[in-house]
Amino acid sequence: MPDAALIQRDESDSTALPAPYLLFLGDTTEAAFAKTAFGLRDWASDRCIGEYALADATVTTGLEPMTPAHAARRGARAMVVGVANPGGLIPDSWLPPLVEALAAGLDLVAGMHVRLADLEPVREAARRYGRKLFDIRTPPANIPVGTGRKRSGRRLLTVGTDCALGKKYTALSIARGLQARGLDATFRASGQTGILIAGGGIAIDSVVADFASGAAELLSPDADPDHLDVIEGQGSLFHPSYAAVSLALLHGSQPDLFVVCHKPGREQILGHPGYALPSIEDVIDLTIRAGRLTNGAIRCAGVSLATNELDDDAAARVIAETSARVSLPVADPVRGGEAFERLLDACTS
């Protein structure tokens, strides 16, 4: 077989990844860090067979628990690392189960900053068992520096008050909602989970900083005037760690519209105690001021709220209150309904 270190995700080929998947949750205790697993469960359920977690894990997707050997007997072809932890690390405690999956006849797929092919025990096990390693957080070669050139077509970017609060779900929901209306819209993935769902894209946070805005330009190229690229946002302009990638994505995307994503009840930046979440109004203001560098006509189309921890009445109340406060359409795209239809209306104007 080829050297495992040379096997990378082919961004142009949506069939390159071997499905169905077993989702690996590691020893995760924070649900927000398992967003890759949840994203695949919710948006690519036909490609997911079950989940595999270590004893210390407290997070579950609700899929059937199974070992790699069991999953292989059920038809799984790969185990996907379903965790997106801070720094994209693969701890030593994960190495035995990763090797176990290879021994069971599964390929491995990961979108971590630490590449599977750089881990000697995993690389050697892949050689020994004749399996493949797919590191999808590998950017394409020869990304140009951003130009700021105005491109044809229209673009919408999801931005957030923080990480892990619905930017990907919102972009997917908007793209699919507009497609259901017969409109020409495409979801553009900028992170590892989105790439797994869509079958292509660029993991913006893996691109060298000088080329990140150029990568965003590649992600949403010239298009027909009526075409809308719905671009998955990353991080937050207010995040102490990830603001840089958010700004590069904003400048390179040149969005005509943006939707602010927020989780009601969250008060501090995830994983950063002492850093208060910005207000939705502050995010709107800063996004417009920064975005005007490459698109002077940028504007906010509305707000997306992740209300999954609220009951129906509480969700409806916070959606209505937020809409009245910011004077924009507000919805939870997962809940859908009339509020989401109004947000879709705003995305077409």
Query: Concatenated DSSP letters for 260-327?
Result: EEE-TT--B-TT-TT-BPPPHHHHHHHHHHHHTTT-TT-EEEEEEE--TTS-HHHHHHHHHHHHHHHT
Is residue 301 a contact partner of residue 259, using CB atoms and an 8 Å limit?
yes
Q: What is the location of CATH 3.40.50.720 in the chain?
A: 4-135
pLDDT of residue 200: 86
pLDDT in tens, 126-136: 999 999 999 98
Entry pTM: 0.86
pLDDT in tens, 54-65: 999 999 999 999
The two three-digit tokens of residue 114, written as one number:
């630490």
Q: Which helix (H) or strand (E) holds 218?
A: helix 212-219
Name the pLDDT band for 167 (thresholds 50, 70, 90).
Answer: very high
Asked whether the predicted pLDDT for residue 1 surpasses 80, the reply is no
Contacts of 142 (CB under 8 A, 6+ apart): none
Domain covering 154-348 in this structure, CATH number: 3.40.50.300
Measured distance CA(76)–CA(3) in Å, rounded: 23
DSSP state of 157: E
Task: Measure the CA–CA gap between 285 and 326, rounded to whole angstroms.
Answer: 12
Residues of the chain with CATH 3.40.50.300: 154-348
What is the pLDDT confidence band of residue 84, given thresholds at 50, 70 and 90? confident
Q: Which residue has the tokens 């957080």?
A: 137
Which helix (DSSP H) or strand (DSSP E) does residue 102 occupy?
helix 95-103
Name the CATH topology of 4-135.
Rossmann fold (3.40.50)
User: What pLDDT score was predicted for residue 201?
Assistant: 92
- Asked if pLDDT for residue 69 goes beyond 70, the answer is yes
| Residue 60 token pair | 């579950």
Place of tokens 């959606």: 319
Kindly give, in sequence order, each residue whose CB lies less than 8 Å from that of residue 335, ignoring residues fewer than 6 positions away. Answer: 307, 315
- E strand or H helix at 223: none
Q: How confident is the model at residue 16 (pLDDT cuts 50, 70, 90)?
A: low
